[in-house]
Amino acid sequence: MNGAARTTTRDIARAAVRTKLAQVALELFHREGFEKVTVNDLSAAAGVSRSTFLRYFSSKEEAVLGALDAQGDQVADALRSRPADEDDWTALRHALDTLIEPYRQDPASALATTRLILDTPALCARQREKQHNWRPALAQALAERGDSPKPATLALFVRAAAALDCLNIAVDHWTASDGELDLVDLLDEAFAALASR
């Protein structure tokens, strides 16, 4: 077996452990509350040492929000794959569908996790910070669309930021409705509100 295969296997195993630790953490946070749970509680619930837990997540916040890092790249990739003749705003709207999928697959879990994030100031602030860091990748993905890629402009950064704000407002409304409203409809409505201006 070559080194690349071992690295790939190691990466797969590491991702599986990270996913399992995050699931244990979320279950404990939902049951006990974010503020009451310590890293020691998380490591004990997962059956690992504190140092092992901290090798996978640098903090409690990261155990909840670590998956968001990859989501920015997923949206950017989805944006690049949209049809070249589609306008930027429509492409952004459809690229965000990659983030809505968990809400469709398991609405109860998505609602509980979203509430946990929105009700915990540290998590909410960290989530917004992570999304803020997605803007350059989304603006660059917009710039790369079409036949002649160009540098990301201020206008593309503004579109990316507005799209993320539309997403957050739609999720806020969906959460306030206890998941009764359709998140896709809310996101469409938010995008339409800016498109009609």
Residue-wise pLDDT for 5-25, tens only, equals: 456 888 888 888 888 898 899
What pLDDT does 3 receive? 46
Question: Distance between CA 150 and CA 18 in Å, rounded?
Answer: 37
Structure tokens at 139: 């603006």
Q: How far apart are CA 92 and CA 71, in angstroms?
A: 14
Residue that the structure tokens 């989530």 belong to: 127
CA atoms of 170 and 188, how far apart (whole Å): 9
Helices (H) and strands (E) in the chain, counts: 11, 0
Residue 33's nearest CA partner among 129, 110, 123 is 123
Q: Is the pLDDT assigned to residue 4 strictly greater than 90?
A: no
Homologous superfamily in CATH for domain 67-195? Tetracycline Repressor, domain 2 (1.10.357.10)
CA distance 160 to 166: 10
Mean pLDDT for all residues in the chain:
90
CATH 1.10.10.60 range(s) for the chain read 3-60
| CA distance linking residue 119 with residue 2, whole number of Å | 47
Residue 124 DSSP symbol: H
The residue among 97, 42, 32, 35 whose CA lies nearest residue 71 is 97
| pLDDT tens-digit readout, 34-93 | 999 999 999 999 999 999 999 999 999 999 888 777 899 999 999 999 998 999 999 999
Looking at residue 195, what is its pLDDT?
Answer: 84
pLDDT of residue 1: 45
Q: CA–CA separation, 27 vs 14, rounded Å? A: 20
Burial of 41 (0-12, 13-18, 19+ CB in 10 A): middle
Using pLDDT thresholds of 50, 70 and 90, give the confidence band for residue 197: low
Q: What is the pLDDT of residues 119-156, one digit of tens each?
A: 999 999 999 999 999 999 999 999 998 777 788 899 99
pLDDT tens digit sequence for 87-127: 999 999 999 999 998 899 999 999 999 999 999 999 999 99
CB-CB contact of 130 with 72 (8 Å): yes
Q: Is 47 left (phi over 0), alpha (psi -120 to 50) or beta?
A: left
116 and 29 Cβ atoms separated by less than 8 Å: yes
- pLDDT for res 6: 54
Q: Where in the chain is the domain with CATH 1.10.357.10?
A: 67-195
Cα(90)–Cα(139) distance, integer angstroms: 14
Six token digits for residue 176: 């306030």
What pLDDT digit, counting tens, does each position of 151-190 carry?
Answer: 889 999 999 999 999 999 999 999 999 999 999 999 999 9
CATH class entry, domain 3-60: mainly alpha
pLDDT at site 7: 63
